[in-house]
Amino acid sequence: MGLEWDRIDLERGIITLMDTKNNERRDIPMNETVKEALEVLDGEKRGPYVFCDSSGKVIDRIDHSFHTALRKTGIQDFKIHNLRHTFASSLVMQGEDPNTVRELLGHKDLTMTLRYAHLAPGKKIKRSVF
């Protein structure tokens, strides 16, 4: 939630994360939907943070809004972290290279990423290749 505009490169389509779970810098490629949304927000900057209120103060909690959205849509037993699993699962099912999935998720090694391998049963993933 503390993403700052100076970490977004709209020209190259890259978001740079500095404060990651494993304390390593990570460059994340944007898809067109994200890039278009950030271009709109870029024209409405209120401060250094991407996610801020009208005064420019960082929005550091979204749990109330997230739970409201879930309630209004009738979605039950869903956590925001489930979106990460959905992302990983979709990549694997589309046939994305496991090492690319690992990089996008920020896993240090392939072991964590291979938890999703069962979603692509037609592909043989050799641990030794990575």
What pLDDT band is residue 122 in, cutting at 50, 70 and 90?
Answer: low
Pair of tokens at residue 93: 């099912």
What pLDDT band is residue 44 in, cutting at 50, 70 and 90?
Answer: confident
The span from the CA of 39 to the CA of 31, in Å, is: 12
CA distances from 31 to 13, 14, 15, 36, 64 (A): 8, 9, 11, 9, 27
pLDDT for res 109? 85
Mean pLDDT score, 64-93: 92
Q: Where are the domains of the chain?
A: 1-60, 62-124
Under 8 Å between Cβ of 46 and 54: yes
The mean pLDDT of the chain is 86
pLDDT tens for each residue of 11-42: 999 999 987 877 888 899 999 999 999 999 88
Mean pLDDT score, 79-107: 88
pTM equals 0.72
Stronger pLDDT, 126 or 10, i.e. the higher one: 10
Has residue 81 got a pLDDT over 80? yes
What pLDDT band is residue 121 in, cutting at 50, 70 and 90?
Answer: low
Burial of 74 (0-12, 13-18, 19+ CB in 10 A): exposed
